Amino acid sequence: MKQIIASIAMAISTLITIGCDEKKPREIVQTVDWFKEHSKERAEVLAKCNSNPGELGGTPNCINASRAASAITWGAKGGGFDSVKPLNSNDFKKK
């Protein structure tokens, strides 16, 4: 009887141990501005995110690095949406 109880206790402790995930070290979340200033790190994060977008695409660092890259690209093309004037009815009239 003691052996059965000991076996059950070992089985339960094994299941509990298996169910516990190892604690992963927390990744430091960088801001969009930080990624704008650190091109090497931005490129590394984007490469990592693009290699596994299903798991990593929605993480804060992937999003921030992507937004930083977009801001830099749009800034190089004339400032993005701030430099685009809105359309009005005169723009659609035939000339």
pLDDT one digit per residue (tens) for the chain, 95 residues:
767 776 676 666 665 555 555 666 788 999 999 999 999 999 999 999 999 988 988 899 999 999 999 988 876 665 555 555 666 777 677 65
Residues in the chain: 95
Please state, in angstroms and as integers, the Cα–Cα distance from residue 2 to each residue in 5, 7, 8, 11, 41, following that order: 5, 9, 10, 14, 58
Q: What is the pLDDT of residue 25?
A: 74
Distance of CA 88 to the CA centre of its chain: 38
Q: What is the pLDDT of residue 39?
A: 94
Q: What is the pLDDT of residue 72?
A: 87
User: If DSSP codes are grouped into helix, strand and coil, which group holds residue 24?
Assistant: coil
* Dihedral sign computed on CA atoms, order 45, 51, 57, 63: positive
Q: What is the pLDDT of residue 4?
A: 75
Q: What is the pLDDT of residue 47?
A: 95
| 68, 32 contact by CB (below 8 A) | yes
